[in-house]
């Protein structure tokens, strides 16, 4: 089958949700449809439904009542494998060459089972740093305990999650990861080949022209889930630090929802909480920011950073995780090594209009070089180059 386009069955963790995995899934399907590539997509949704869109067959499956929440917008259906028979008939008709999953979700486990039963290769995207999430959420949930005890338990939870996740990612034949650190780490942890996974952005949807605010206080924005693993409590520390430095004419606009929202509302003095935004409202929210402050230390990529850059917004990020590979330090934003640097970089943009103007232009130019077409074309190249090698058959 050398040189042929792979018939991929894709089982993503999310599709309708507002997160990076869902954005990747929707754009993957759009790319296959635009390129007229046969593509079979299975995801969870509000009802059971089969939708045919050109070359794409999209199977939506409803989660049942026996489930537990992973967070406010994501559930794990303990009986999701009940859909096996319904999907098996359609999948055999499609005749996939391989199965692609995004992680050990209920949908991902179903996809892995199909790959095993059909005897076809399985590939996996590493989209989320699950071990870090487990540790941070455990620590947050046990904040009422003595710090040392809570730290020990959260460390144990992170190590257990790392062990379980590593075992799962040893199952696929090969892997994809969104930044070089994770690529290298997965190769060492699993012994499996791992390819870089690019991301793109819709530069027409996220555009500086959506900006309709031309005055008012300096706007520091955040977009994403309001959860412990996103390190969002640092936004309160940022506000206090800027106040202590004498800065007053600014506001924070925090787009998203999550378990930390109540805490943030109680501890921020000058913040707006518009909730989850989509469509033009999200485009306007980005474009009306002066800087994106993104304190997360667990991002594998940080798609919101690229969306901000596309909107002509400079970004300040940490030096931990994927966003540091998206921001060009001193050109499209800043990469902070610690909280003091994070605050200092935001303050620099607040007091340096010329620097801010230059970064806005450079941010937009950088984003225009990021294309979903290029990202998915490279993924299909990786499918072909790996599966067509004699060594692949022995993995």
Round to the nearest angstrom and report the end-to-end CA distance of the chain: 18
In terms of domains, do 183 and 264 share one? no
68 inside domain: yes
Q: What is the mean pLDDT of residues 152-174?
A: 79
Indicate whether 138 and 224 sit together in one domain. no
* Band of pLDDT at residue 287, cut at 50, 70 and 90: very high
Q: Tell me the β-bridge partners of 251.
A: 219
Q: What is the pLDDT of residues 371-389, one digit of tens each?
A: 899 999 999 999 988 776 5
Structural domain of 356 = 208-368
In whole angstroms, give the CA distance from residue 304 to residue 301: 9
Position 203 confidence tier, pLDDT thresholds 50, 70, 90 = very high
Q: How many residues does the chain have?
A: 395
Specify whether 356 is located in the same domain as 385.
no
> Which pLDDT band holds residue 146 (cuts at 50, 70, 90)?
confident
pLDDT given for residue 1 in this prediction: 38
pTM: 0.83
Is the domain of 358 the same as that of 382? Answer: no
- Same-domain pairing of 24 and 156: yes
Question: Quick check: is 233 in a domain?
Answer: yes
Q: What is the pLDDT of residues 28-58, one digit of tens each?
A: 999 999 999 999 999 999 999 999 999 999 9
The whole-angstrom separation of Cα 135 and Cα 99 is 30
Residue 308 maps to which CATH number? 3.40.50.2000
- Residue 107 lies inside a defined structural domain of this protein: yes
**Alpha-carbon torsion (5, 9, 13, 18), positive or negative:** positive
Contacts for 241 with CB less than 8 Å, ≥ 6 apart: 339, 343
Residue 272 falls inside a structural domain: yes
Domain co-membership, 278 together with 216? yes
Judge if 82 and 194 occupy the same domain: yes
Q: 172 with 249, same domain? A: no
> Is residue 131 domain-shared with residue 268, that is, in the same domain?
no
Tens digits of residue pLDDT in 51-96: 999 999 999 999 999 988 876 667 899 999 999 999 999 999 999 9
Give the pairing of strands 67-71 and 74-77: antiparallel
Domain count, the chain: 2
Together in a domain, 362 and 384:
no
62 and 172 fall within a common domain: yes
Q: Are residues 161 and 278 in the same domain?
A: no
- Give the pLDDT mean for 206-230: 94
| Residue whose structure tokens are 């386009």 | 5
Q: Indicate whether 1 belongs to any domain.
A: no
């Amino acid at each position: 089958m050398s040189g042929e386009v792979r018939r991929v069955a894709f089982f993503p963790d999310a599709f309708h949700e507002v997160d990076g995995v869902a954005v990747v899934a929707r754009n993957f399907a759009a790319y296959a449809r635009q390129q007229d590539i046969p593509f079979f997509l299975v995801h969870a949704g509000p009802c059971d439904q089969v939708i045919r869109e050109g070359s794409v067959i999209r199977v939506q499956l409803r989660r049942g009542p026996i489930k537990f929440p992973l967070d406010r917008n994501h559930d794990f259906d303990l009986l999701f494998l009940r859909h096996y028979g319904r999907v098996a008939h359609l999948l055999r008709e499609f005749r996939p060459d391989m199965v692609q999953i995004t992680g050990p979700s209920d949908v991902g486990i179903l996809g892995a089972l199909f790959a095993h039963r059909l005897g076809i290769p399985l590939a996996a995207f590493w989209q989320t740093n699950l071990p870090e999430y487990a540790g941070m959420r455990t620590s947050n949930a046990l904040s009422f305990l003595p710090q040392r005890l809570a730290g020990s338990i959260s460390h144990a939870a992170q190590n257990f999650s790392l062990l379980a996740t590593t075992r799962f990612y040893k199952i696929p034949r090969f892997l994809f990861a969104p930044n070089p650190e994770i690529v290298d780490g997965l190769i060492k942890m699993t012994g499996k080949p791992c390819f870089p996974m690019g991301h793109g952005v819709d530069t027409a949807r996220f555009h500086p022209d959506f900006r309709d605010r031309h005055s008012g206080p300096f706007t520091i924005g955040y977009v994403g889930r309001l959860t412990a693993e996103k390190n969002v409590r640092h936004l309160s520390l940022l506000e206090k630090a800027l106040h202590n430095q004498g800065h007053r004419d600014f506001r924070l606009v925090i787009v998203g929802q999550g378990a930390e929202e109540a805490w943030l509302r109680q501890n921020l003095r000058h913040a707006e909480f518009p909730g989850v935004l989509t469509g033009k409202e999200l485009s306007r929210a980005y474009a009306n920011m002066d800087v994106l402050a993104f304190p997360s230390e667990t991002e594998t990529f940080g798609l919101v950073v690229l969306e901000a850059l596309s909107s002509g917004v400079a970004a300040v990020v940490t030096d931990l995780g994927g966003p540091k590979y998206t921001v060009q330090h001193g050109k499209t934003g800043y990469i902070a090594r610690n909280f003091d640097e994070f605050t200092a970089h935001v303050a620099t943009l607040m007091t340096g209009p010329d620097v801010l103007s230059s970064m806005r232009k450079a941010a937009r130019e950088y984003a225009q070089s990021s294309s979903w077409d290029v990202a998915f074309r490279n993924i299909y190249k990786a499918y072909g180059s790996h599966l067509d090698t004699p060594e692949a058959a022995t993995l």
